[in-house]
Structure 1
Amino acid sequence: MHRVLVDNGSSADILYYPAFQQIGIARERLVPTNAPLAGFGGTRVYPLGVVTLSVTVGDYPQQVTKDVAFLVVDCSSAYNAILGRPTLNAWKAVTSTYHLMVKFPTESKVGELHENQVAAQECYIAVMEMDDHLQAMSIEEQRTVAEPVEGQKKRVFALERN
């Protein structure tokens, strides 16, 4: 799958509904959930449910396969999915924005994912042009722990297998 945002700031793994449909998964496989997600603009997005999929990352023999519990959301996005901390931690992955790559241990040395700069630029432009900005990133907490700091920017990049 292409157009996957690797976001070590996200507390959730998200699959957007159009990608869910394209994969051909029966909607009956969705497990109901009532945990709302907080979007960039503070809007709440309620997932359609949770689906667990087996995800393989890397190229043989430097690859890893794990089950990932995705929150499926029906909102617009330039991405097909977001991989957040739950999956990155399960993969024991290390991200490097400087090197634009992700590394993870495998049974056969270290696996790598490299950024596709063209896809990253296309996704960034598409996100900036979207009217609703409903990019869901984290599970909403019942209380506010910290307020965002003004002026902070986040680099967005997409990864694909080489």
Structure 2
Amino acid sequence: MEERCNAAGQTNRPRTEQEGPSMQQLGRTGEPGEACEAKNRGNAAIRDIGMISGGPTNGDSGRGRKSHERQWEIHAVGCSQEQAAGPIISFGPQDLEGLELPHDDALIIKAIIANNRVARVFVDTGSSVNVMFRSAFEEMQIDTSELEPVATSLYDFTGNEVRPMGQIKLAISLGSEPLVRTRRSTFLVVDSPSSYNVILGRPALYEFRATISTFRQKIKFSVGEHVGEVRGEQRVSR
């Protein structure tokens, strides 16, 4: 068999050898590899687009932020009995009932904030703060004198600096009777146009110990030994 293969020469070489040089050879010889690199260079990043960040979440001063970092460094691994207690939260096929599939919709919900039923609340796990836009704040008829000053700037998705009007701590309720949970969380009030009334960021979601499924358009959280939930408004998000 070896003699026959040698006599046949290149005609019986493995197909991979007949089809052309290997990927390593392409990279060494130049043209195909260089052309690919040139195309990739045309997609080089020219600006950074991040997420909502900043704000006074970790302290509204340099001293406050350093204190927060020290607390993080000495935090023991594990959790308290209170944090560990509660029902198991899970999602199943029943959570897809009533949804239009397939979808890639944002999670938009309704919530009761300071005794106001607020629509167009965008659930954003990437936001380091809860944001309330000025139009919604004014409709709540809360006096601006109740706003506390904020020294730390907020940065939007494109990295632009936004100076908040102030911050205020408000009660927020999620769920429907009898499975309703209420917590107090701080909102930064921003004078900026938006299609949302409120952005519910990580601080509020942590207060509720919320478990989120954007695919199932639901938020779930413990209410005593039971599980409360909020379903997203899929049509509104479109």
In the superposition, the TM-score normalised over structure 1's length comes to 0.72
The whole-number CA distance in structure 1 between the counterparts of 2:134 and 2:225 is: 34
1:38 to 155, 161, 185: 155
Task: Give the aligned residue type for 1:63.
Answer: V
Query: Who wins on radius of gyration, i.e. which is larger?
Result: 2
- Map 1:1-162; keep pairs closer than 5 Å: 1-107=118-224, 109-121=226-238
Query: Greater relative contact order (Cα 8 A, min sep 6): structure 1 or 2?
Result: 1
RMSD value, Cα: 0.9
Unaligned runs of at least 5 residues, structure 1: 122-162
The whole-number CA distance in structure 1 between the counterparts of 2:205 and 2:163 is: 23
The whole-number CA distance in structure 2 between the counterparts of 1:89 and 1:40 is: 21
Report how far residue 107 of structure 1 moved. Answer: 2.3
Structure 1 stretches of at least 4 aligned residues deviating more than 2 Å after TM superposition: none
Report how far residue 83 of structure 1 moved. Answer: 0.7
Secondary structure in 2 matching 1:31: coil
Task: Give the aligned residue type for 1:68.
Answer: S
**1:45-99 deviations in Å (ceiling 9; x for gaps):** 1100001111111111111101111000000000000111111011000000121
Higher helix share: 2
Unaligned runs of at least 5 residues, structure 2: 1-117
Higher strand share: 1
| Deviation larger for 106-115 or 86-95 | 106-115
The whole-number CA distance in structure 1 between the counterparts of 2:213 and 2:234 is: 14
Q: Which residue of 1 aligns with 2:65?
A: none
Task: Give the aligned residue type for 1:43.
Answer: N
Question: Across the two proteins, how many residue pairs are aligned to each other?
Answer: 121
